[in-house]
Copies of this chain bind each other. A is one copy, B any other.
Amino acid sequence: MTEKYEIIKSALLGVLDKKKYAGLREILLVMNPSDIAALFEDLDEPRMPLLFRLLPKELAAETFVEMEPDAQEVLIRSFSDSELKEVVDELYVDDAADLVEEMPANVVKRILQQADPEMRSSINQILRYPENSAGSIMTTEYVTLRPNMTVGEAILRIRRQGVDKETIYTCYVTQDRTLIGLVTVKDLLLAEDDDILIKDIMLTNLISVTTVTDQEDVARMFSKYNFLALPVVDGENRIVGIVTFDDAMDVMEEEATEDMELISAIVPSEKSYTKSTVLDLFRSRIPWLMLLMVSATFTGLIITAFEDALAAQVALTAFIPMLMDTGGNSGSQSSVTLIRALSLDEVRLSDIGHVIWKELRTALLCGISLAAVCFAKIWLIDRLLMGNESITPMVDAVVCLTLVVTVICAKLVGCLLPMAAKALKLDPAVMAGPFISTIVDAISLVVYFLFAQSLLGV
């Protein structure tokens, strides 16, 4: 796939430079808009408008939508007003709204000037909704039917209106703009008789979202109910737009990326890795690194407080990294499991009792198995193989007891913090590995030194 694309790309660019435009156009016509858009990413600025002008109107708009904002901006700046109008007219309203959001102010002004008044008002409507809400990702182009239409009339209406709609497969039945049902094209085509009334075949147990529903909840409903489209209603149950499955897929991908970034102590950004500059990466990575580094002051203070114990039993120091890493890993296992379960709605806040009980027993099993293997390993490798005389059975016991307690604390902290975040209406993903490691580090060191003091008398 990828290699094939590279070959096609260099062939196409060769043809472009030789000005064999007719042949090039033939090739572009059989390509997919996404692939043509990818091609644009690799063009230098002067060649972009050249290639773009070869595309027929509809394909041009479809390709334009798939391009990255910076390529779009280069193109728009090269467009004449009438060229810009042609592209904008072909865009679906939600894509046009996305474009307006991404472009700098002077480009936005030109776009809105070229859009027809209806499109302009729809764009403005979508832009008024909060970021990441259903309203901000919906499109206002959908097919509405009336309950008293016949199936035949409905099909006729779709044939007349459908060309400008993002999807025609789900049609919404309204009465005085209130959403009262839905009918799919499948229902219409498979209806036994063209004279059946829409109200007799429409589905009335509707699932809808409001304009302010979080886009993550919208995406979850798509994956739960397998919808092609989901209606967006206002406070009075009047339909104002629809979200289509492809936008829901984009949201799912975005939200999964965001969760993974939070889990690994990165401030989420919407830029892809390739588009991010070094400064972008720095800005998204330094805040958590700085915070976590400064909060490690506590672990340092704990070690300083027990300096005498360490001086008396230098062997103890060697096990600090192992204890900290195992605690950190145990905690991040629990936290990520819970973060994902909360985000997929598998676990709810009311399940907290079950969760604690399950994690506690898992922690006990893990802790005891780890401690048993660790005890043997320390004795066999560190004492017998490496001949480290300062490791007594008691030192070994202190390490392994600490291990059990650390794993239990880590798993409890790991499951409780994401649930606490959820209860506080924060994103549970913030309470992931790095944050939990810092807490568990401190706990495990205190436990370690307390065991050392009481069992080794240091």
Q: Which A residues form the contact surface with B (CB < 8 A)?
A: 2, 30-32, 34, 155, 158-159, 162-163, 168-169, 185-186, 189-190, 204-205, 207, 222-226, 228, 245-246, 248-250, 252-253, 256-257, 259-261, 263-266, 272-274, 278-279, 281-282, 285-286, 288-290, 292-294, 296-297, 299-301, 303-304, 307, 310-311, 314-315, 317-322, 324-326, 328-330, 332-333, 335-341, 344, 346-348, 351, 358, 361-362, 365-366, 369-370, 373-374, 377, 381-382, 386, 388, 407, 432-434, 437-438, 441, 445
Is there contact, CB below 8 Å, between A326 and B296? yes
The one of B253, B289, B310, B332 in contact with A330, judged by C-beta atoms closer than 8 angstroms, is: B289
Is there contact, CB below 8 Å, between A320 and B318? no
| Nearest chain B CB to A156 CB, angstrom units | 10
- With a cutoff of 8 Å between Cβ atoms, the chain B residues found around residue A273 in the complex are 337-338, 340-341, 346-347
Is there contact, CB below 8 Å, between A321 and B189? no
- With a cutoff of 8 Å between Cβ atoms, the chain B residues found around residue A300 in the complex are 318-319, 321-322, 382
- With a cutoff of 8 Å between Cβ atoms, the chain B residues found around residue A222 in the complex are 249
- Nearest B residue to A437 by beta-carbon distance? B325
Question: At the interface, is chain A mostly helix, strand, loop or mixed?
Answer: helix
| Nearest chain B CB to A302 CB, angstrom units | 8
**Known A185-B185, A303-B318, A438-B325; contact A272-B310, beta-carbon cutoff 8 A:** no
Is there contact, CB below 8 Å, between A314 and B310? yes
- With a cutoff of 8 Å between Cβ atoms, the chain B residues found around residue A333 in the complex are 264-266, 285, 289
The one of B159, B264, B322, B351 in contact with A336, judged by C-beta atoms closer than 8 angstroms, is: B264
- Nearest B residue to A391 by beta-carbon distance? B304
- With a cutoff of 8 Å between Cβ atoms, the chain B residues found around residue A278 in the complex are 358, 361-362, 365
- With a cutoff of 8 Å between Cβ atoms, the chain B residues found around residue A248 in the complex are 249
Is there contact, CB below 8 Å, between B274 and A341? yes
5 further A-B contacts with Cβ under 8 Å, apart from A278-B358, A325-B434, are: A252-B252, A257-B340, A274-B351, A289-B366, A299-B321
The one of B32, B296, B321 in contact with A303, judged by C-beta atoms closer than 8 angstroms, is: B321
**Known A296-B325, A347-B274, A358-B278; contact A264-B433, beta-carbon cutoff 8 A:** yes
- Nearest B residue to A264 by beta-carbon distance? B336
- With a cutoff of 8 Å between Cβ atoms, the chain B residues found around residue A315 in the complex are 304
**What are 20 pairs between A and B in contact, CB < 8 Å?**
A30-B205, A31-B205, A32-B225, A162-B189, A282-B365, A285-B362, A286-B366, A289-B333, A293-B322, A293-B325, A296-B322, A297-B377, A304-B382, A307-B314, A310-B317, A317-B317, A321-B441, A325-B328, A325-B438, A332-B434
- With a cutoff of 8 Å between Cβ atoms, the chain B residues found around residue A365 in the complex are 278-279, 282, 286
The one of B189, B304, B445 in contact with A388, judged by C-beta atoms closer than 8 angstroms, is: B304
| Nearest chain B CB to A427 CB, angstrom units | 14
Is there contact, CB below 8 Å, between B332 and A433? yes
- With a cutoff of 8 Å between Cβ atoms, the chain B residues found around residue A346 in the complex are 272-274
Is there contact, CB below 8 Å, between B297 and A329? no
- Nearest B residue to A331 by beta-carbon distance? B264
CA distance A433 to B331 in the complex (A): 13
